[in-house]
A and B are shown apart, each in its own frame.
Chain A
């Protein structure tokens, strides 16, 4: 009953509508960016959007920064294909916000200025700690960027319906992918270099409204289809999946039980626990999320913005349940995998089906598909802009101003370097993504979370709450956590030695799990402790200042 995505003439009109809507979004956001650039004069404007955003605005922007294509298309696709297990991702991504709310957001806002390193280096030797923080910020952001940009490239051929052998504007599928990666990269560089934090924040706010609006319409249509009977939706999804009630239970995707292979079953379950841990502890260590807390005037408003973010993100992840099961029921797994094996087109295909059923046949389907495809592009753009901004801020504020210039750079100079850094990081991300586009790099998002949880979070928590913590401890936890996570993944089945690996024809793996968190997160905390006790350095006066300021907001920027 479900049509092949973009099979008929409706395809052409849908495609041009998608492009039109996307161009409208680009035009609006570029307009905002240019307006924002006129308001961007000081370093505080560029790095922190002038610290003038309200709790609600920043909450929406956090949502826009956080709800990536992996959340929207990825989780909906996982649920559509594997049922309940996709929901595990949603839960980890949401619960993680309590770590940010209770342990990080307010204290970071009170004691830092522009970057994560402001807090980490507060009572330490500036240059080594800022270098380490900058390295880990850039590594996390680049991993995340590559995953998003390669995803965008793959998505465009699917959403614009460019099949192998077919052409679009004279480009074949592969050229269109490269063109998309370059276009996305060019736009994100423009948002960041021209609009700074102010422009980027508004892009994220607009995107959050579009995403929530688009998802809400789809959820209402799905629920209406089942007369708001959730059980009926689930039953139909289970039946259509061909897997019966197992589709509504954990175990089809994660922690898979292989009969007769106890070791494989054990590792599969450990992998699930490892992933869960990284999702929950990673969020509060993601640099592009941390810098968002600086865009509000006070720590109380930072708290409020996290509360808004939890409300928005939580609602969205509940929506993904209806979207995923709706796609399984109304589109069907076979139709989804025919389009994309990973299921990333489940949400757009569902949109098309809903349009056909409820908004007047093929035209309605084409319109809905176009709207959701444009939302998906907007989603990717907002996320990559946030990542580019966070990493270029760190390169300029931490590495250039503090390490190279030893704190003697003028504000103007620093902002100029930040803009150049955005260009540089954007160019590197584009080049790496083009190189990586034929490889399976979906694991990079989970790796970014694992590094954030293993390297950044231990250092942040020790800095804020452990009097004895020192320079050596900070360096050990950042480098120790970073290297553990990256090395374990390098020797894991996601890089080599399995059919779905990045290099499927090679095999050098010896670490059995795809997710390093369960080992690398405890290692990050352990190294932070070890490095601290190995060094005699302590600075009770600076810790007193950090502690008093982080809790009371005294002397906050």
Chain B
């Protein structure tokens, strides 16, 4: 059930939520920058470093193909790593805040005057 506007403001300003936001943004923003840079590097090399991409590594398998497959590997890895990070670092904290919103604040020192948490 939705809570009142003041309640959301209060939660947003709470230390707990600030920590959740910090953990979330500290992960998703740098990771996004990283994979976009990594992908752009691949596209730029495809456009401008053709001799490098053409180097054969094993048989007919060249750097371009390995670089391309590495984009798959990095995508799978980031997806897997994020799911682990979210499950251990984000979900428990999000659940705590959720429960507080549902049931009203427990003996939480950070929370001050409330409307009981129910709209």
Show the binding face of A for B, using Cβ within 8 Å.
84, 87-88, 91-92, 94-95, 97-99, 101-103, 230-232, 234-235, 238, 245, 248-251, 254-255, 257, 269, 272-273, 276, 280, 300, 303-304, 306-307, 310-311, 314, 317-318, 465, 540-542, 544-545, 547-549, 551-555
Give the CA-CA distance A101 to B43 in the complex, in Å. 22
Q: Is the CB of B76 within 8 A of A98?
A: no
Give the CA-CA distance A97 to B31 in the complex, in Å. 13
User: A91 to chain B: which residues have CB within 8 Å?
Assistant: 39, 42, 68, 71-72
Q: Is the CB of B32 within 8 A of A318?
A: no
Kindly provide the distance from the CB of A462 to the nearest chain B CB, expressed in whole angstroms. Answer: 14
User: B20 to chain A: which residues have CB within 8 Å?
Assistant: 551-552
Q: Which of B3, B60, B69, B72 has the most CB of A within 10 A?
A: B60
Please tell me which one of the listed residues B60, B80, B97 contacts residue A248 in the complex, with CB atoms under 8 A apart.
B60
Q: Kindly report which residue of chain B lies nearest to residue A235, judged by CB atoms.
A: B60
Q: Is the CB of A249 within 8 A of B54?
A: yes
Q: Which of A92, A99, A250, A553 has the most CB of B within 10 A?
A: A250
Known: A84-B65, A548-B11, A553-B94. A272 touches B60 (CB 8 A): no
Q: Is the CB of A547 within 8 A of B12?
A: yes
User: A554 to chain B: which residues have CB within 8 Å?
Assistant: 2-3, 97-98, 101-102
Please tell me which one of the listed residues B3, B47, B60 contacts residue A555 in the complex, with CB atoms under 8 A apart.
B3
**B79 contacts chain A at the CB level, 8 A cutoff:** yes
Q: Is the CB of B82 within 8 A of A101?
A: yes
Give the CA-CA distance A554 to B69 in the complex, in Å. 39
Kindly provide the distance from the CB of B7 to the nearest chain A CB, expressed in whole angstroms. Answer: 9
User: B89 to chain A: which residues have CB within 8 Å?
Assistant: none
Kindly provide the distance from the CB of B110 to the nearest chain A CB, expressed in whole angstroms. Answer: 14
Q: Is the CB of A101 within 8 A of B60?
A: no
**B114 contacts chain A at the CB level, 8 A cutoff:** no
Q: Which of A232, A273, A542 has the most CB of B within 10 A?
A: A273
Q: Is the CB of B39 within 8 A of A548?
A: no
Give the CA-CA distance A402 to B114 in the complex, in Å. 33
Kindly provide the distance from the CB of B37 to the nearest chain A CB, expressed in whole angstroms. Answer: 12
User: B24 to chain A: which residues have CB within 8 Å?
Assistant: 551
Q: Is the CB of A272 within 8 A of B8?
A: no
Kindly provide the distance from the CB of B57 to the nearest chain A CB, expressed in whole angstroms. Answer: 10
Give the CA-CA distance A87 to B65 in the complex, in Å. 9
User: A272 to chain B: which residues have CB within 8 Å?
Assistant: 43, 46-47
Kindly provide the distance from the CB of A38 to the nearest chain B CB, expressed in whole angstroms. Answer: 31
Known: A102-B28, A318-B72. A544 touches B42 (CB 8 A): no
Kindly provide the distance from the CB of B108 to the nearest chain A CB, expressed in whole angstroms. Answer: 15
Q: Is the CB of A84 within 8 A of B75?
A: no
Contact with A along B61-98 (1 / 0, CB 8 A): 11011001101100110111011001000010011011
Q: Is the CB of A97 within 8 A of B75?
A: yes
Contact with A along B3-19 (1 / 0, CB 8 A): 10110110111000100
Q: Is the CB of B83 within 8 A of A307?
A: yes
User: B71 to chain A: which residues have CB within 8 Å?
Assistant: 91, 94-95
Q: Is the CB of B28 within 8 A of A103?
A: yes
Q: Is the CB of B65 within 8 A of A548?
A: no
Please tell me which one of the listed residues A231, A314, A317 contacts residue B58 in the complex, with CB atoms under 8 A apart.
A231
Known: A280-B39, A314-B76. A99 touches B64 (CB 8 A): no
Q: Kindly report which residue of chain A lies nearest to residue B76, judged by CB atoms.
A: A314
Interchain residue pairs with CB less than 8 A apart (13): A98-B35, A230-B59, A245-B60, A257-B50, A303-B83, A306-B79, A307-B83, A311-B76, A544-B8, A544-B13, A553-B94, A554-B98, A555-B3
